[in-house]
Chains A and B, each alone.
Chain A
Amino acid sequence: MKPTAILEVKDLTFRYDLRKEEKTLSAVSFSADPGEWIAVVGDNGSGKSTLSRLLVGLIDPEHGTIKIDGCVLGEQSKWSLRQQVGIVFQNPENQFIGTTVQDDVAFGLENVNIPFQEMKERVEAALKLVDMLELRDKDPSQLSGGQKQRVAIAGILALQPKLILLDEAFVMLDPQSRRGLFSVLQNLRKKQGITIISITHDRNEAALADRIIVMEQGELIQVDKPSSVFAKQEKLDAPFAEQLRRNLKSCGRNVPETYMTEDELVEWLCK
């Protein structure tokens, strides 16, 4: 039997300006299973951030429903549901509430009245995961953008949510720490069944997701496995392996017609 979805979005419609006809999001529906990694891709202004803000109840939809862990998100339920959903926004500067790194990570725990001893342990564990433990006494003016992004992610990890939303949360990280954080999140997902929805412009990252959601002008135009998405969406910059395959093909080489992951391509090339 299929596990019950952690997130169910149905017919979500939203407008910033009610006087205008034009919708920021129109009739978006999808669902996410526990432990799934979903990448959201789309051009600037296609409504990705708006979708993420709807999912945490910062703005209310005009139509449609959001169900988190079987419970409909609404005025009453949003406070308890937020304990299960963590979001990391684009701008790390304005996300830093505490005066120091560890204070900031602790902020969310203070809000749910976690006792001091447990709080200390969880803050330390979260900072260790994002490799910021040595810098825990620093204040934000002493940190780089990437480091602040890591602190923001630690703040979410400390809360141990079931669903994590990342809105271009990796953009300021160098490739190495990006890979590092990526594998940390992958591990959590495997061990604890956390669901991750990651808004990203990085095609190689998206290619590693279980499914990709493609947004265009407020509409969800495709939700599928990376292989089908990159095969169908010619417009999307393909990940490295797929680009190589396409290039080889256009040079007249006899390569397979369908999308290939990096591993598949390597295997085929070595034959």
Chain B
Amino acid sequence: MNKLILGRYFPGESWIHQLDPRGKLVAAIYFIGILFFAEGWIGYLLLLGFTLLVMQMSGVSLKIYLRGVRPLIWLILFTVTLQVLFTAGGTIYFDWGPFTVSSYGLINGVFIFLRFVMIIFISTVVTLTTKPIDLTDAIHALLRPLRVVKVPVEDFALMLSIALRFIPNLLDETQKVMDAQRARGTTFGEGTLIQQMKTLVPIVLPLFVGSLKRAEDMADVMEVRGYQSDKPRSSFRQLTWTRYDTVSIIIMLLLTAMLMLVNRIGAYY
């Protein structure tokens, strides 16, 4: 469980940590958007440089970011390989039936690889530097316009925050149940796949029952503490937009302008 980096928060004091989660989220989504407009080497290098700069500023070590890429590396390599094999054009180095390895294919492959890695890096920057609950609040704030079309945004945000609050409990309980089963002589991770799956049943079942009981208790607590889904609620956590957030949005716009310019220049070569 400790291997999963995406979705974990690393406390810190960096500039990026202190940005408003709404601004951070919008900027990250925007950045991922403009990734698709990069053309040519210079454009990709510009965006990569920006990504590395942001990662550096977050104060989290590169190793952690690389660990974030690891679980997805096979998916990335697979996509890149397909891209390389099915793009034709330029010098052809190798040709075998429908597969060709060409200079265009290789360049495209590298671009796709970079794009993937940058998407992962930038999303990791957001999740590493923002408390999950702040992220929930940001999503809540950004989805708020959907209330007009009767989407229960408030309920959704509360649901998300409660889910986040219970993840550590669930991990704890899994550990407890596993220990209890071990004490009764179960060994995990041994035997055939079927045998391994069988050892999981006595873990999943108690967890499931426990979660149901908990959900019931919590629903009661929410009810007696006055939660009604259709009533207006005030919010204790306040998000504050500062100058830095405005600056970060301006930086994104500047980056876009630079990318356009670089694309233009690239077109002449």
Chain A positions near chain B (C-beta within 8 angstroms): 53, 56, 58, 79, 82-83, 85-87, 89, 91, 93-100, 102-103, 106-116, 119-120, 123, 139-141, 155, 159
- The majority secondary structure among interface residues of chain B is helix
CB contacts (< 8 Å) of A93 on chain B: these are 169, 214
Docked complex Cα distance between A31 and B161 (Å): 40
- Report yes or no: B169 in contact with A141, Cβ–Cβ below 8 A: yes
Known: A83-B226, A141-B172. A113 touches B234 (CB 8 A): yes
Known: A97-B162, A99-B161, A99-B164. A119 touches B234 (CB 8 A): yes
Nearest Cβ in chain B — how far from A123, in angstroms? 7
Could you tell me how many residues of chain B have their Cβ less than 8 Å away from some Cβ of chain A?
Answer: 29
Q: How many A-B residue pairs have CB under 8 A?
A: 89
Known: A99-B161, A107-B236. 10 other contacts (CB 8 A): A89-B220, A97-B225, A111-B231, A116-B238, A120-B236, A139-B165, A139-B168, A141-B168, A141-B169, A159-B225
Docked complex Cα distance between A110 and B162 (Å): 15
- The answer to whether B45 has its CB under 8 Å from any CB of chain A is no
- Report yes or no: B214 in contact with A111, Cβ–Cβ below 8 A: no
- The answer to whether B227 has its CB under 8 Å from any CB of chain A is yes
Known: A97-B225, A98-B165. A113 touches B232 (CB 8 A): yes
- Report yes or no: B234 in contact with A79, Cβ–Cβ below 8 A: no
For A91, give its contact among B217, B223, B236 (CB under 8 Å): B217
Q: Max chain A CB contacts within 10 Å: which of B217, B221, B228?
A: B221
- Report yes or no: A116 in contact with B225, Cβ–Cβ below 8 A: no
CB contacts (< 8 Å) of B226 on chain A: these are 79, 82-83, 108, 111-112, 159
Nearest Cβ in chain A — how far from B9, in angstroms? 11
For B223, give its contact among A58, A113, A139 (CB under 8 Å): A58
- The answer to whether B233 has its CB under 8 Å from any CB of chain A is yes
Docked complex Cα distance between A71 and B53 (Å): 64
**Looking across the interface, which residue of chain B has its beta carbon closest to that of A95?**
B221
- Report yes or no: A94 in contact with B214, Cβ–Cβ below 8 A: yes
Which residues of B from 223 to 246 have beta carbons under 8 Å from A?
223-228, 231-238
Docked complex Cα distance between A119 and B235 (Å): 9
Docked complex Cα distance between A155 and B224 (Å): 12
- Report yes or no: A106 in contact with B236, Cβ–Cβ below 8 A: yes
- 6 nearest CB pairs, A to B: A106-B236, A94-B217, A111-B226, A108-B225, A99-B133, A141-B168
**Looking across the interface, which residue of chain B has its beta carbon closest to that of A141?**
B168
Docked complex Cα distance between A167 and B232 (Å): 30
Known: A79-B226, A111-B225, A111-B228. A58 touches B236 (CB 8 A): no
Docked complex Cα distance between A190 and B218 (Å): 32
CB contacts (< 8 Å) of A106 on chain B: these are 236
- Report yes or no: B236 in contact with A110, Cβ–Cβ below 8 A: yes
Nearest Cβ in chain B — how far from A228, in angstroms? 33
